[in-house]
Amino acid sequence: MIKESPLQYDFEKLWKEGMLDWHGRMPERMVDDGLEEAFWMQSMKKKKYKQTDEYAKRIYEKMKKHIPEDSSCIEFGPGWGNYTFPLSRDVKRLTLVDGSKSVLAYLKQHFEEEAPIQFVHSKWEEAQLEPHDVVVGVNCFYRMYEMNETLKKMNRLAKKRAIIGLTTGPIQPHYVLLDEQFGYDIKYPRRDYIMIVNMLYQLGIYADCEMIKLEREHRYDTWQQLIDAGSKKILSPRFEQTHVGASLERFISREDGQFVYRYPFHAAIISWEPVKHI
């Protein structure tokens, strides 16, 4: 709990500190554009035709109400198109901005040449863009270091609405048990949507924030696969697999011969009308 005024906190500094790994260093992928491009190149190769995440439909439903009819729209960090494909149907003109050539090439193949879509290969921070009615960014802030400038740019380029989407916690519940019952150090999330809300507040932007409750599902063919996946966020150098299994048991069901792990998570939809003179 924060006991002092939030005005006394530098939330951008907290955001930057949260980018460091658990040894206090900046992860290579955060600063190496080549590694980032390699990641997205491999990710795009695995995607099927217009493959999107099911949960994204509910997030877009909430975002859509903030998008006026016949809008021009910038989407930055579009990834594999969770929001790009529905946006392309709902806006009159769409500009896609991404630092990955692989992402843009993947998306471009799904649209006709005459479609009113512009593809801009650039980091958001460096992109030279004209204002659009709406600016959208969803789950694309993990490499954004100068977050205040990122938010100011969104505000400056949005004529009618700026929209941010972030999926968020809680952490998988078995990790809480591993912490509280077995005493393991856990990689709890270090950056979250609330930092962005507070950064906006400190910039003089009173943003709306709506939470959506969602559910994630993972399936594993063997118990060992489940144990391996459920150990990845343990920081402690040594741990007992039996402890991981014991923490998981109450959350696992058997369906069609597989081990199924379902747990809640959320999405935050942060949006605001652009503010002048910030």
Residue 197 belongs to a domain? yes
Q: What is the pLDDT of residue 106?
A: 97
Residue 200, classed as helix, strand or coil, is helix
**Domain carrying residue 53:** 6-170+188-217+267-272
Integer Cα distance of 255 and 267 in angstroms: 27
Residue 99 belongs to a domain? yes
Residue 94 belongs to a domain? yes
Q: What is the pLDDT of residue 4?
A: 62
Integer Cα distance of 9 and 11 in angstroms: 6
Integer Cα distance of 277 and 28 in angstroms: 36
Task: Please report which confidence band the pLDDT of residue 33 belongs to, taking 50, 70 and 90 as the band edges.
Answer: very high
Integer Cα distance of 20 and 262 in angstroms: 29
Give the C-alpha distances (Å, rounded to integers) separating 164 from 76, 195, 278. Answer: 10, 12, 18
Integer Cα distance of 62 and 202 in angstroms: 25
Residue 223 belongs to a domain? no
Q: What is the pLDDT of residue 278?
A: 78
Residue 125 belongs to a domain? yes
Which helix (H) or strand (E) element contains residue 208? strand 208-220
What the block records as the tokens of 15 is 């955001």
pLDDT digits (tens, 9 = 90+) for 230-272: 999 999 999 999 999 999 999 999 999 999 999 999 999 999 9
Integer Cα distance of 118 and 96 in angstroms: 6
Residue 75 belongs to a domain? yes
Number of domains forming the structure of the chain: 1
The CATH number that applies at residue 79 is 3.40.50.150
Q: What is the pLDDT of residue 6?
A: 60
Q: What is the pLDDT of residue 5?
A: 64
Is the predicted pLDDT of residue 1 greater than 60, yes or no? Answer: no
pLDDT digits (tens, 9 = 90+) for 72-131: 999 999 999 999 999 999 999 999 999 999 999 999 999 999 899 999 999 999 999 999
Least Cα distance to 73 among 93, 103, 99, 97 occurs for 93
Average pLDDT, rounded, for the chain: 95
Q: What is the pLDDT of residue 8?
A: 80
The 10 Å Cβ neighbour count of residue 276 is 6
Per DSSP bridges, beta strands 93-98 and 72-76 are parallel
Give the C-alpha distances (Å, rounded to integers) separating 272 from 60, 71, 202, 206. Answer: 16, 16, 14, 7
